[in-house]
């Protein structure tokens, strides 16, 4: 998925992509197709690009390991320049949005796939929980506590005595 500068006009235009060819499937499991809308326009030698990315990621709960479908949406903004604009002009360049990313290219072609893959990793939630109240796994028997109580006493709360109890039971 390459977008050459020559295909970008002064007036910003929107493109949408629904294919998944660019998606980093080996690292992130995605349910359905990711949706992408990109708006790009030229300003002098620069290309201003903003867009939105949406997909459903199949993640796993940090506490109990259960699969969790997570709707992920990310907005992004980029400024692409060519290497030749280095120097004074670059220093003047300002980006209004805080999270705007400036990229200097060696040739006037934007690799949309690379840009989108970068956004996928930025968009993934840091913390994944199947439920805010997920209590994870019982430290004694490893049962998912959300699925009901395990047979360990003390509601599965960790205590070294639980382990001893369990050992005694097994004997």
Binding site for Zn ion (CB under 5 A): 61, 63-64, 130, 134, 138, 140-141, 143, 150, 152, 156
Instruction: Identify whether the C-beta of residue 14 lies closer than 8 Å to the C-beta of residue 29.
Output: no
> Given the DSSP bridges, would you call strands 2-4 and 109-111 parallel, antiparallel or unpaired?
antiparallel
CA distance 168 to 84: 74
* Distance in Å, CB of 159 to Zn ion, minimum: 11
Nearest distance, CB of residue 66 and Zn ion, angstroms: 5
Q: Compute the least distance from the CB of residue 67 to Zn ion, in Å.
A: 10
For residue 132, the SS3 value is: coil
Measured from the CB atom, is 69 or 114 closer to Zn ion?
Answer: 69
Across the chain, the runs of DSSP E, i.e. the strands, are 2-4, 13-17, 29-43, 46-60, 67-82, 101-105, 109-111
**Tokens representing residue 143 in the block:** 């049962």
Kindly tell me which of 28 and 152 has the beta carbon lying closer to Zn ion. 152
The rounded distance, in Å, linking the Cα atoms of 105 and 145 is: 51
- Return the number of the residue (3 or 130) whose C-beta is nearest Zn ion: 130
Q: How far is the CB of 158 from Zn ion (least distance, A)?
A: 10
Q: Which of 16, 151 has the CB closer to Zn ion?
A: 151
């Amino acid at each position: 998925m390459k977008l050459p500068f020559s295909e970008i006009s002064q007036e910003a235009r929107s493109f949408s992509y629904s294919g998944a060819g660019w998606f980093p499937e080996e690292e992130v499991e995605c349910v359905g197709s990711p949706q992408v809308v990109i708006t790009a326009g030229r300003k002098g030698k620069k290309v201003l690009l903003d867009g939105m990315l949406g997909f459903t990621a199949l993640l796993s709960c940090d506490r109990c390991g259960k699969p969790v479908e997570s709707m992920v949406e990310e907005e992004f903004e980029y400024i692409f320049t060519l290497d030749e604009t280095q120097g004074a002009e670059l220093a003047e360049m300002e980006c209004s949005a805080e999270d705007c990313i400036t990229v200097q290219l060696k040739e006037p072609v934007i690799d949309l796939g690379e840009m989108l893959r970068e956004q996928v990793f930025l968009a993934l939630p840091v913390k994944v929980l199947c439920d805010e109240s997920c209590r994870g796994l019982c430290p004694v028997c490893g049962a998912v506590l959300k699925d009901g109580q395990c047979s360990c006493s003390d509601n599965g709360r960790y205590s070294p005595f639980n382990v001893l109890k369990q050992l005694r039971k097994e004997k």
